Amino acid sequence: MHIPFCLPLIDQDVITEVNDCLTNTGWLTTGPKVRELEAEISKLTGTPVLCVNSWTSGAMLVLRWLGVGPGDEVVIPAYTYSATALCALNIGAKVVMVDVGPDFNMDAEKLRSAITPHTKAIIPVDIGGWPCDYDTLLQVLDLPEVRRIFRPNNARQEQLGRPLLLADAAHSIGATYKGRPSGTLADVTVFSLHSVKNVTTGEGGAICLTLPYPFDNAEVYQFLKAFALNGQTKSAFEKNQPGAWRYDIIDQGLKVNMPDVCAAIGLAQMRKYTSELLPGRRHIFEQYNAAFAQHSRAILPPYQDETRTSSCHLYMLRIAGASEAERDAIIQRIAEQGVGVNVHYIPMPMLTLFKRLGYCIEDYPQTYRLYANEITLPVYNGLTEDQVSRVEYVCRNSITDPPSKE
């Protein structure tokens, strides 16, 4: 039995919805399906939601809206997918990486010491679907000394009065923190709807707006909707109504809108996400937890505690005492038995681009420790009970060596 690491959900509901787009609405780019998907995500978050064509472009759009650019700094964790850094680098800002805590997420103490008068935003990441401790991160941004050194250079930054808390919730749609859903925990949150994520539009992202007073989130939504479309006040769909041809370009925007044919895929998934798809993922997590709880070398990923529930995006198993080399050998044995596993993530300071930019993994010891013995197991809707049992069996058999002496 061959079991891939990941497969997108393309079931009859998805096919019906895409078919409706192709044959009934006959509209391919941004139009009614995108607005329906935004409304569906908004049922979960209660916020204005703007869909765009990726997490990365959504984060760039938000940073540009805030006027972040050359001379500014954005603080991110060293343990994440590189897009978290690239959204800032690609608008000319400098990326300041901090080490993470034992739960894979941004460490508030490290954040505190990374903030300078140039800091304009921080982007914590809900790794694997496990929400960051947002209240503590926000407390850091609200410290009188942080507000005092903040140097606004436009009206929006002045209105905020401190660095922006921009959540990288690429993994965490459906997760909760203190009873509140992901999408409402920061100033702005961006979900990814990429093919490997919990809900997908092929490629896509969704921006949730919960900016503090005196921002008007409905107004910011209207602005960003145009800003994501070259700054154009009307989409082609809106201009297509009789007599509605006139438009304006209100600002120098990006071209990052989501096509309707993509939104249809996510719409079908989103309608049953909390009722079916998320519980399905949760069930797989629980099966793995039960299987590995008694294993002497298994360190289980964070999943739920008194304040948080995971969206069960990645099952990030860790092997106690394993070196990077032993972990790699275990993955090789698992792969030889036809099971796809993965590593999340190769820390950015170990990748060529970031080494060239001067980042050094020795500065992020906790990040390295978490990465070195990590193996991500498959979790997706459509993975059967038998397949989950097979994954457990193959993994348990592949983790045979005693822990190496440190």
The CA distance from 254 to 168, in Å, is: 20
Q: For residues 86-125, which are near ligand PLP according to CB under 6 A?
A: 125
Q: For residues 198-227, which are near ligand PLP according to CB under 6 A?
A: 205
Name which of 83 and 372 has its Cβ closer to ligand PLP: 83
**Residue of 31, 35, 24 whose CA lies nearest to 240:** 31
Token pair of 72 as six digits: 């500014």
Name which of 57 and 398 has its Cβ closer to ligand PLP: 57
Q: Tell me the closest approach of the beta carbon of residue 194 to ligand PLP, in angstroms.
A: 4
Name which of 8 and 205 has its Cβ closer to ligand PLP: 205
Question: What is the DSSP pairing of strand 119-122 with strand 73-77?
Answer: parallel
Name which of 88 and 339 has its Cβ closer to ligand PLP: 88
Q: Which class for 23: exposed (0-12), middle (13-18), buried (19 or more C-beta within 10 A)?
A: exposed
Q: Tell me the closest approach of the beta carbon of residue 38 to ligand PLP, in angstroms.
A: 16
The CA distance from 86 to 347, in Å, is: 14
Q: Tell me the closest approach of the beta carbon of residue 27 to ligand PLP, in angstroms.
A: 23
Among 30, 45, 47, 80, binds ligand PLP (CB under 6 A): 80
Q: Which x/- pattern over 26-65 shows residues binding ligand PLP (rule: CB under 6 A)?
A: ----------------------------xxx---------
**Residue of 168, 212, 166, 172 whose CA lies nearest to 188:** 166
Q: Tell me the closest approach of the beta carbon of residue 76 to ligand PLP, in angstroms.
A: 10
**Residue of 311, 4, 274, 386 whose CA lies nearest to 127:** 311
Number of residues that bind ligand PLP (CB under 6 A): 14
3-class DSSP state for residue 184? Answer: coil
The CA distance from 55 to 87, in Å, is: 9
The CA distances from residue 236 to 87, 110, 204, 231, in Å, are 27, 46, 19, 13
Token pair of 199 as six digits: 């809900």
Q: Tell me the closest approach of the beta carbon of residue 66 to ligand PLP, in angstroms.
A: 18
Q: Does 83 bind ligand PLP (CB under 6 A)?
A: yes
Token pair of 28 as six digits: 């391919």
Name which of 201 and 398 has its Cβ closer to ligand PLP: 201
Q: Which amino acid is at 296?
A: S
Q: Does 309 bind ligand PLP (CB under 6 A)?
A: no
Name which of 194 and 225 has its Cβ closer to ligand PLP: 194
Q: Does 354 bind ligand PLP (CB under 6 A)?
A: no
Q: Which residue has the tokens 């069960």?
A: 312
The CA distance from 252 to 67, in Å, is: 12
The CA distance from 88 to 41, in Å, is: 25
Q: Does 373 bind ligand PLP (CB under 6 A)?
A: no
Q: Tell me the closest approach of the beta carbon of residue 62 to ligand PLP, in angstroms.
A: 13
Decide if 67 contacts 93 (C-beta within 8 A): no
Q: Tell me the closest approach of the beta carbon of residue 77 to ligand PLP, in angstroms.
A: 9
Q: Tell me the closest approach of the beta carbon of residue 167 to ligand PLP, in angstroms.
A: 10
Name which of 79 and 303 has its Cβ closer to ligand PLP: 79
Q: Does 331 bind ligand PLP (CB under 6 A)?
A: no
Q: Which x/- pattern over 139-178 shows residues binding ligand PLP (rule: CB under 6 A)?
A: -----------------------------x-xx-------
Q: For residues 181-200, which are near ligand PLP according to CB under 6 A?
A: 192, 194
The dihedral over CA atoms of 176, 179, 183, 188, expressed in degrees to the nearest 10, equals: -120
Task: Supply φ then ψ for residue 257, to 5 degrees.
Answer: -75, 155
Q: Does 79 bind ligand PLP (CB under 6 A)?
A: no
Name which of 82 and 233 has its Cβ closer to ligand PLP: 82
Among 27, 65, 81, 130, binds ligand PLP (CB under 6 A): 81
Say which DSSP state 357 is in. Answer: T
Q: Tell me the closest approach of the beta carbon of residue 196 to ligand PLP, in angstroms.
A: 7
Q: Does 371 bind ligand PLP (CB under 6 A)?
A: no
Decide if 79 contacts 367 (C-beta within 8 A): yes
Strands laid side by side in the 73-77 sheet: 49-52, 205-209, 188-192, 164-168, 119-122, 73-77, 94-98
Binding site for ligand PLP (CB under 6 A): 54-56, 80-81, 83-84, 125, 168, 170-171, 192, 194, 205
